[in-house]
Amino acid sequence: MQQLLSKIQPTVLFFLFVLLLSCTSKYRYTAIDESQTYNSKPANCQIEYVREMPDPAKFIKIGECTAKGKNHYQVTDAANINKKAFAQLHECACLNGGDVVYIGSVDEEHSSSSYGTYGTIPSYTVDLKGLVYKRK
């Protein structure tokens, strides 16, 4: 019985560790002008996403938000990870007073790793970078 428990315990710990790290997203905000602050908005505020740089006569660039989504070797739909990363980007823009986000880049990386008896587990990472603007 003890031999069986000693074999099961590392497997359980491995899967708990993977579960703990699964599907995380994080964001970072970099202000353009540290001396200028803007009122924060609720994390679910209305943000407009644009494909072209906003008109400098109507908007001021206030910062840059970056978000990262990763599945940490858990089998997860890439679209779900993208959705979570965009939600983090949205929250970052709102909390820093933004009105408009110009998506500067979307970098995706697909890979997989082999874990012996656990098999091959896919990995997916997405990095988003958006310039945050405020209406003048």
Q: How many CA atoms lie within 13 A of 51 on its CB side?
A: 0
What was the pLDDT predicted at 18? Answer: 42
* Average of per-residue pLDDT across 46-69: 93
Label residue 110 by pLDDT band (50, 70, 90).
confident
Q: Is the pLDDT assigned to residue 48 strictly greater than 90?
A: yes
- Fold adopted by 22-135: Translation Initiation Factor IF3 (3.30.110)
Label residue 37 by pLDDT band (50, 70, 90).
confident
What was the pLDDT predicted at 117? Answer: 64
DSSP string, 71-121: -TTS---HHHHHHHHHHHHHHHHHHTT-SEEEEEEEEEEEEEEE-GGG-EE
Q: State the Cα torsion 61-66-67-72 to the nearest 10°.
A: 170
- Domain locations along the chain: 22-135
Residue 70 buriedness (CB in 10 A; 0-12 / 13-18 / 19+):
buried
Q: Which residue has the tokens 């965009």?
A: 86
With the C-alpha atoms ordered 89, 93, 99, 103, is the resulting torsion angle positive or negative? negative
pTM for this predicted structure: 0.69
Label residue 3 by pLDDT band (50, 70, 90).
low
Run of H or E residues at 18: helix 2-21
Polymer length in residues for the chain: 136
d(CA 56, CA 41): 22
